[in-house]
Structure 1
Amino acid sequence: MADDPRRGRPDRALDRRILALAVPALGALVAEPLFVLVDSAVVGRLGTAPLAGLALASTVLLTVVGLCVFLAYATTAAVARRLGAGDVRGALTLGVDGMWLAAGLGTVLAVALVLTAPWVVTALGARGDVTGQAVAYLRWSAPGLPGMLLVLAATGALRGLQDTRTPLWTAAGGAVVNAVLNVALVLGAGLGIAGSGLGTALTQLAMGAVLTVVVVRGAVSAGASVAPALGGVVAGARAGAPLLLRTLSLRAAILLTAVVATGLGPAALAGHQVVAAVWGLTAFALDALAIAAQALVGRSLGADDVTATRAVLHRTLQWGTGTGVVLGVAVAASAWALPAAFTDDPAVRSAATAGLLVAALFMPVAGWVFVLDGVLIGAGDGRYLAAAGMVTLVAYAPAAWAVAVWAPDATAGATTGGTTGLAWLWVAFAGVFMAARAVATGLRARGSRWMVTGA
């Protein structure tokens, strides 16, 4: 239902629906950045080289997992449409097919990452002690990839069914287990950065198993098959391909940012890890609203309700921008205190503070971008998002290149060089890249071609 102009205030029922989905989704989404934050806080006590190695390795791991986020996004949209059309059995069948795809893909990627870890970190510019630390983390965390991807697919199915509470409780339990395992294995057992990777892998496998049981039970109750169906798995892969390309452009930008940070020196790279971890936490928090938009848009389009779709678009954009403002203020206010939780190195602290202040400035833009992404994903507009992603990557690359070429040399001043360079790098990423995405998605949302109705 749209806003009622006679009342002069937003439709409270729509707000309640948005928050009922977004608040639990927030808890589930925050789990992955919390894993990285906990890993960073624990590993940071081992020294600058381990923290820098974790910065590079976690970027690679999150890139691999992030490229597979289509397992959640495509499944959410498809399941929500079927639910809106009244086909619960068909909705759960789509969810199970997505989970089979996730299990197979996760196994292949785990093996590949173990075998190629040294080449990957070297190609990204790792040098000296940082190389060994990054390789150790990647190899010990890789076995958790099947669990990570199962979490994505199962969570997507549950979101499409308008259930964001089950992923919340699973993620909350996983965050606690991960923190305990990291402290026990890294500091208690003395395994170093390898213990951090192992703890994360064990946690992700356990989370994947829990969510698999939940979805399978629901499918059996609805009379849906839980056996692997080649046609359904292939259809899921085909539907997710455009979103894979869209995500590839985003992850390429993140990798490019990490490569430039590596070239700025160990202090800047370690500081970038702190800023990236905080940005990831806030970005996933904003994405909770995007998930609500995905589920609500998919269901309303499946029910042939264009008016409700427009209402969701407008209201979630208001929520996203406002939340971005609040988060930006919070990050800016804590920019001097947060780095101290990760490192005692003054050069790293200085660089991280500068990066956090820049990131905070652009968070309202990020709120707008994330919500529009969610709306278009929920509508199944993956092809446009794929094309727009490549265009925005092309717009960002020159800005990142300029930082790499003209940023002050960190060797010229241990604190000044890394601090200034990292600040300009985040102007390029959080400013230029996010602005390009805001324009691309905003132009699409103004029209109506993305509002295709029906199951």
Structure 2
Amino acid sequence: FAVGAGREADARKVAGTGLSLALLMGIPGGLLVAALARPLCWLVGGRGDVLHHATTYLSISALGLPFILIAVLGHGVLRGYNDLRTPMKIVLAANVVNLVVELVAVYGLDMGMAGSAGSTVVAQAGAAAAFLWAMRRHLTLHRPRWAQYRPLLVTGWHAAVRAVAMYTVWNVSTIVAARLDEPTLAANQVVNQMFILLALVLDALAVPLHSLVAGELGAGRREGAAQIGHRSVRLSLWAALLLAVALAALSPLLPHVFTGDPAVQSRLVAALLVLAVMQFPGAVAFALDGALIGAQDMGWLGRQAVFNIAVFLPAIVPTLIWPSLGLAGIWGAQLCWMGTRALVNHRRWRRLERIGFRLPAAV
């Protein structure tokens, strides 16, 4: 927003504030998780050798938390300047480094779980250094005041509420699948992975909207922001059509790719067809998520995510009452959830257009 308004100095100060916040949260947070690694692993069910290996991995990998937060900051800063290539290059390079170092540490030096965790931290540190170098011109180091931290913390809180609400939907789906039978649980995991893959494709069209819409609004071009939102929805719907047709056509074949268990295969076909239909409301929901984030409307997105749970929970109850609905019933409930997301996002976007995108956060 500040970049679009031509306030480069303000944008650099926000980036500098974000860096200090990442360090203030990441360093003590990582040390705390490392210190509590064993009881945390025990709480989630680790026992015996599993507890030992999990503790080793978590206590080492927790040290990468400040590097992760710096990388997240780098993504946001560079995205604000419409630079999406540099983050992609850094992430690809970090993954290659992680793979190479892990192979050497685990198989060459026989370091086991410690080598695996250590290689991840090394890759994360390298990515953080690369992001710091890439955004060096876009941040100003200073001593922030609480008033400068507060907007970042509030926005982060809204984002966290939204993420927890969405993960609640997926976790409840997994719990219901587990209550039905093991083949349904296994099939649900397959459909979950397909959902994530397709969501990432559609979300790739939504991510640029964060900076495009914010830039237009920062420059005072409200009509331009509205047009970008509408064009993104149309483009996402075309992409959804291609994904839905491909998934529906492959639905009889994909179960055999993922598993040889006939019980799991029989449950997958219907759920994959539901997932194909789900691409259309998903396209609208994801595109307008990106546009609303660009319009600084994270507070509403957080509240809306909680509201959507109230639609999802009653929709999944019939599957518990009539288990014969199976995986199709579980994903039918998620289809209702996604349809609600699309509808309320569309209504919100149209309302923002009518009021000229005048939000307190944007001001």
Whether 1:364 and 2:280 are equivalent positions in the alignment is yes
Taking a change above 3 Å as real, the CA distance of residues 277 and 186 of structure 1, as seen in their structure-2 partners, is: farther
- In 2 relative to 1, CA 351–162 (structure 1 residues): closer, same or farther, beyond 3 Å? same
Alignment-derived partner of residue 447 in structure 1 = 351
Write the letter of the residue equivalent to 2:306: M
For residue 342 of structure 1, report the CA deviation from its aligned partner: 4.5
- Determine whether 1:210 maps to 2:127: yes
Aligned residues of 1:82 and 1:302 also touching (Cα < 8 A)? yes
Deviation at 1:321, TM superposition (A): 1.4
- The residue number in structure 2 matching 1:292 is 208
* Candidates 58, 69, 75, aligned match of 1:155: 75
Please give the per-residue CA displacement for 1:143-174, whole angstroms capped at 9, x wherever unaligned: 35544443322211111111111111122234
The 3 A distance-change label for structure 1 pair 159 and 276 is same
- Greater CA deviation, 113-122 or 87-96? 113-122
Is 1:100–1:233's contact at 8 Å kept on the other side of the alignment? no
TM-score where L is the length of structure 2: 0.81
Evaluate the alpha carbon distance shift between residue 163 and residue 223 of structure 1 in structure 2; reply closer, same or farther with a 3 A threshold.
closer
User: What letter matches 1:89 in structure 2?
Assistant: A
2:88 — aligned with what?
168
- Residue identity matched to 1:159: R
Find the residue that maps to 1:451 and give its secondary structure.
coil
Change (3 A) 1:183 1:282: farther
C-alpha contact 1:147 1:205 (8 A) present in aligned 2: no
C-alpha contact (below 8 Å) 1:171/1:207 kept by paired residues: no
Q: 2:141 matched to which residue of 1? A: 225
Q: How does 1:136-151 map to 2 (within 5 A)?
A: 140=57, 143=62, 144-151=64-71
Structure 1's 218 and 178: CA in aligned 2 closer, same or farther, altered over 3 A?
closer
Q: Distance in 2 between matches of 1:281 and 1:200?
A: 25
What is the match of residue 327 of structure 1? 243
Secondary structure of residue in 2 paired with 1:373 = helix
Q: CA deviation at 1:280?
A: 1.0
Task: Indicate whether 1:310 and 2:214 are aligned.
Answer: no
- Cα drift, residue 266 of structure 1: 3.1
For residues 216 and 393 of structure 1, the distance between their equivalents in structure 2, rounded to whole angstroms, comes to 41
Which residue of structure 1 lines up, in the alignment, with residue 329 of structure 2? Answer: 424
Contact 1:154 1:212 in 2 (8 A): no
Q: Report whether the alignment pairs 1:385 with 2:301.
A: yes
Aligned to 1:237: 153
Deviation at 1:231, TM superposition (A): 5.0
Q: What's the CA shift for 1:371? A: 0.7
SS at match of 2:2: helix
What is residue 260 of structure 1 aligned with on the other side? 176
Q: 1:178-197 residue pairs with structure 2 within 5 A?
A: none
RMSD: 3.6
3-state SS, counterpart of residue 141 of structure 2: coil
The equivalences for 1:5-84 within 5 A come to 81-84=1-4
- In the alignment, the residues of structure 2 paired with residue 267 and residue 425 of structure 1 have an alpha-carbon distance, to the nearest angstrom, of 14
Q: Percent identity at matched positions?
A: 27
**Equivalent of residue 186 in structure 2, options 257, 262, 270:** 270
Aligned partners of 1:331, 1:406: CA distance in 2, in Å?
A: 27
Bigger mean CA offset, 256-265 vs 144-153: 144-153
Normalising by structure 1, what TM-score? 0.66
Q: Is the 8 A contact 2:237 2:284 kept in 1?
A: yes
| Range with bigger deviation, 435-444 or 249-258 | 249-258
Letter in 1 for 2:190: V
The corresponding residue for 1:30 is none
1:91 lines up with 2:29 in the alignment: no
Residue of structure 1 in register with 2:318 after alignment: 402
Cα pair distance change 1:200/1:85, threshold 3 Å: farther
Q: How many residues align?
A: 352
Does residue 116 of the first structure (1) align with residue 20 of the second (2)? no
Contact 2:15 2:138 in 1 (8 A): no
Letter in 1 for 2:15: G
Report if aligned partners of 1:150, 1:208 keep a CA contact under 8 Å in 2.
no
Deviation at 1:297, TM superposition (A): 0.7
Structure-2 change in CA distance of 1:200 and 1:372 (3 Å): farther
In structure 2, distance between residues paired with 1:134 and 1:351: 34
Using the TM superposition, give the Cα deviation of residue 183 of structure 1 relative to its aligned residue in structure 2, in angstroms.
8.0
Q: Which residue of 2 aligns with 1:27?
A: none
In structure 2, what residue type is equivalent to 1:214? F
Q: After TM superposition, give the deviation of residue 311 of structure 1 in Å.
A: 0.9
Distance (whole Å) between structure 2 residues aligned to residue 352 and residue 224 of structure 1: 52
Q: Which has the higher contact order (CA 8 A, sep 6+)?
A: 1
Q: CA deviation at 1:132?
A: 8.5
What are the ranges of 5 or more consecutive residues in structure 2 without an aligned counterpart? none
Over 3 Å counting, the alpha-carbon distance change for 1:201 and 1:232 in structure 2 is farther
Counterpart of 1:432, as a letter, is: C
- Structure 2 CA distance for aligned equivalents of residues 174 and 340 of structure 1: 33
Q: Which runs of 5+ in 1 are unaligned?
A: 1-80, 123-128, 409-419
Return the offset for 1:248: 2.2
